[in-house]
Structure formats: C-alpha cells, structure tokens
Amino acid sequence: MSALEITLSRVEEEVHKSIQSQKAAIFNSLFQLYEGPAFAIRLWDGWSWSSSNGAAPACALVVQSPQALQALIAAPNEITLGEAFIHGGLEIEGDIFSVFPVAEHLFNRPRPLRQKLRESSARTLFGVGQWLHHGAKHSPRRDHASIAYHYDQPVAFFEPWLGPSLAYSCAYFRNAEDPLDLAQQQKLELICRKLRLQPLERFLDIGCGWGSLVLHAARNYRAHAQGITLSKEQEQVARRRIEQTRLAPRCAVKLRDYREPDGIPHPFDKIASIGMFEHVGLRNLPQYFSTVRRLLRPGGVFLNHGITRAYSSPTPKASFIDRYVFPDGQLVTLSQVLQAAESEGLEVRDVENLREHYELTLRHWVKGMQQNSTTLLRHVSEETYRIWLLYMAGSAAAFRRGDIAVHQVLFNRPDHGGGQFPLTREDWYHAR
C-alpha cells in the first residue's frame, strides 16, 4: 500500500470516528436527564447507542432511515414518531411498553417556537379538512364517520386478541393473574349486579359493540335486552351471535344513534353505556344525559362506563390517537361528567375508578395482537396493524401514569325521593 493510500485510509478512519462521536454526543445530549428504563438505539448502518453503562436495555429503537432519525431528534411528537413507526421507519425490539418513558422524555423537552408554530398549523389544517369532509365536530354525520373509521374493521381482526367475549372495553380482574376472558365475564357480571338487573326488566345498552352485554343480560338475568350501535359491522355480528344463541325473543341489536330516541321504545328499567362515552364530546354531554333520563322510567338506573382524563393531565397538542385511531374522540374529566349528569336531573349513586384494570386489559390485548400478528395481517394492512398496536400499548402507558382513567358511574332517575337501593354494596361482590 502506498503512502498516499495509507494517509487516505487514516483520514477516512478519523472522519468515521468523528461522525460516530457526533452521533453519541447528540444522543447523550437528548437523554441527559432521562430517568426511565434502560434502552438502546440502533441505526440502519449498524451503529448503536445505549442509555446506560452495562444494564441490559428493556427495548431497542431501531432507526431504519435518515427521515426516521430526523423525526426522533429534530421534531419528536406523537404524530412524527407515530408515523415513523406505522410506516416502518422506526421498529421496536423488546418490551414495547418500555418505549413510552423514552417518548415522554422527548416530548417534554423544550422546543423552538418555529416547531410549535408548525405543529399548530398542521393541527388547524387537519381540523379544517375533517370539517369540510364530514361536517361539524360531534355532529351526527361526523360521528357516524368516526365510528365507522374505528369499528368497521372485519370482526376476524378483533377475535384473536379480544377473545370469545368480543368485549372491547375494560375488563374486571379479581386477581392480576385472571385470564382475559374470565376478566371480561367478570366485568359483564359486575355491570349487571351494579344495575341490580332483574328478570323481565327492559334493558338498553347504548353503544353495544358486538353484543356481549345484551347477550349476558338476556342469558343470565332473563332481561329483555336491546342494544344500539352506529357500526354496521358490529350490528351484523351482534345479530348473528343472538341468532346462534337463540335469544332473539328477548334480545336485539339495532343500528341507531342515541340522539334518535323516538325510534327506541321506552321507558327502560335499566340502561348501560360501556366504552361509548368517549365519542360523545363535552359539548354534547347535556344532550347525552338528557336523552338517558328521558329513556329511563322514574326510579330507573343507569351505569356509565367510560374513559376520563385526569384534571391535571394536559391535552396533547399533536395527538396520534385523534389523527389515526379515534377521530374526534374527546376525553372529559370526572367532574365534568358528574356536573353534566346532575344538571340533567340524574342522581349519582356510586363512582368506581378501574384505571389499573384497563392497563391490565390493554396488556392482554397487546400480547394477543403480537402473538397473532400473522393472522391479523390477513385481514388488515401492515399500517393498520401497527396503528392499533401502538394505540393499545400507548394507552396502557397512559393509564399507568394516571393521565387517564376509566370510571363506572351509577346514576338513577329520582322518583320523589324513593329508591330501591340496599344500604350496602355487598351483593355486587359475593360469589354466585
């Protein structure tokens, strides 16, 4: 090798070392005050970095392209990092749940004014596009579109990770080791017990999903159970399940909006709404509770099971869930729920926070999605699968932090001070 070639080789080696040193300096600066679980970053060229000295990383962020690296270090928010993941620019190896403390650290770092203005403009343009295409936020037409976007996936996509119950809401775990299907059955049973559902009572499930609760109420409590949903896919599946169980004489599901109560024969003795409340919106809370009160007989009971946000939790400025999962979904605080319900004449009888239960539920769902990924990808695209996986895992992290919770609130329609409530709740929890 000539002297010139040796010199060039040494120069190339020094340049390479300098570039590697700069990369390390960038990540050392980005995560200088990071206090979460150890993690690693690996670039497309094989270069890697670790947040700790010697500790095994809980996960590794695999950056597949310069564009994904730009999203990670220059403009990290829920949208940019979420899009990098769903389009394959970012991969997550190891424990997917441990990546969220990393993301939170990046999101909470100070950002330049130019970036904040750019994010604000993007949110405004997205909102205008939604209004032009689907109408005003939380109008019936736009709510129909939002529900269809989220729920009208083929049921074969949901079955492998929801399990036989097809219950797409927070389960109830008597023990953390309970299998998911048992926990879902315990949730359905707890709802019926809180309502103190009786044989032959008329029961309505608002936003009934694939019919799990109406089937449980008709089969186990001999109630006349009716469900309503805005999802055509869910209505068809629920009707098929009812026919298969031969409960049609006292069980039915209809495609209907709760804001169209004139087509729903009432009054009902008991009403429940499980996991639908997130779609109502703050502005529509008075109409929602007013409609429920009108559908209930005097003395009737209503259980509302829905996700709420903590009063101290800031609303994300760039929400991945709002963009890709729940268009127009809006979480309200528990105090807003109670104020709106009481303003419409409903009495609060019980409040229970199931936050820990929903984290457990979501962890089961994520595990089920990962274990059944090959099957799921026969029914949806790779992007759709990644959207749901990220949404589930991110939601579990939010429940764990306490940013959001799920509250079961029991109301009744007052009947001149009379009531049918026992003095204790012991009957809710005893073994059948």
The closest alpha carbon to 214, from 251, 184, 248, 246, belongs to 251
Residue type, 162: L
pLDDT in tens, 85-136: 999 999 999 999 999 999 999 988 755 434 443 434 333 443 444 344 434 4
Mean pLDDT estimate for the chain: 85
What confidence score (pLDDT) does residue 145 get?
43
303 strand-pairing partners: 272, 410
Asked whether residue 133 is assigned to any structural domain, the reply reads: no
Asked whether residue 129 is assigned to any structural domain, the reply reads: no
What confidence score (pLDDT) does residue 156 get?
94
Contacts of 62-69 spanning 24+ positions with Cβ under 8 A? 62/90, 62/91, 62/92, 62/93, 63/89, 63/90, 64/88, 64/89, 64/90, 64/91, 65/89, 69/43
Of 88, 107, 126, which marks where a domain is finished?
107
Asked whether residue 127 is assigned to any structural domain, the reply reads: no
Asked whether residue 177 is assigned to any structural domain, the reply reads: yes
> What is the CATH classification number for the domain harbouring 258?
3.40.50.150
Q: What is the arithmetic mean of pLDDT over 408-424? A: 87
What's the total number of domains in the chain? 2
> What is the CATH classification number for the domain harbouring 8?
3.30.1050
Look at residue 3 and tell me whether its pLDDT is greater than 60: no
Burial of 172 per CB tally in 10 Å (0-12, 13-18, 19+): buried
Q: What is the arithmetic mean of pLDDT over 20-38? A: 86
What confidence score (pLDDT) does residue 377 get?
96
pLDDT in tens, 241-277: 999 999 998 999 999 998 886 777 889 999 999 999 9
Pair (79, 145) in one structural domain: no
Domain range for residue 94? 3-107
Pair (77, 150) in one structural domain: no
What confidence score (pLDDT) does residue 363 get?
98
For tokens 């009744």, the residue is: 412
Pair (19, 165) in one structural domain: no
Count the Cβ atoms, other than its own, within 10 Å of residue 294: 13
What confidence score (pLDDT) does residue 140 get?
55
Q: In 202-240, which positions are buried (b, 16+ CB within 10 angstroms) versus exposed (e)?
A: bbbbbbbbbbbbbbbbbeebebbbbbbbbbebbbebbbe
Pair (19, 71) in one structural domain: yes
pLDDT in tens, 372-410: 999 999 999 999 999 999 999 999 999 999 999 999 999
Pair (347, 199) in one structural domain: yes
Q: In what order do the strands lie in the sheet with 90-94?
A: 48-50, 39-43, 59-63, 90-94
Which residues, 6 or more positions from 207, have their beta carbon under 8 angstroms from its beta carbon? 228, 229, 230, 258, 273, 274, 275, 276, 277, 279
Q: What is the arithmetic mean of pLDDT over 333-349? A: 97
Pair (98, 208) in one structural domain: no
Q: What is the arithmetic mean of pLDDT over 309-314? A: 86
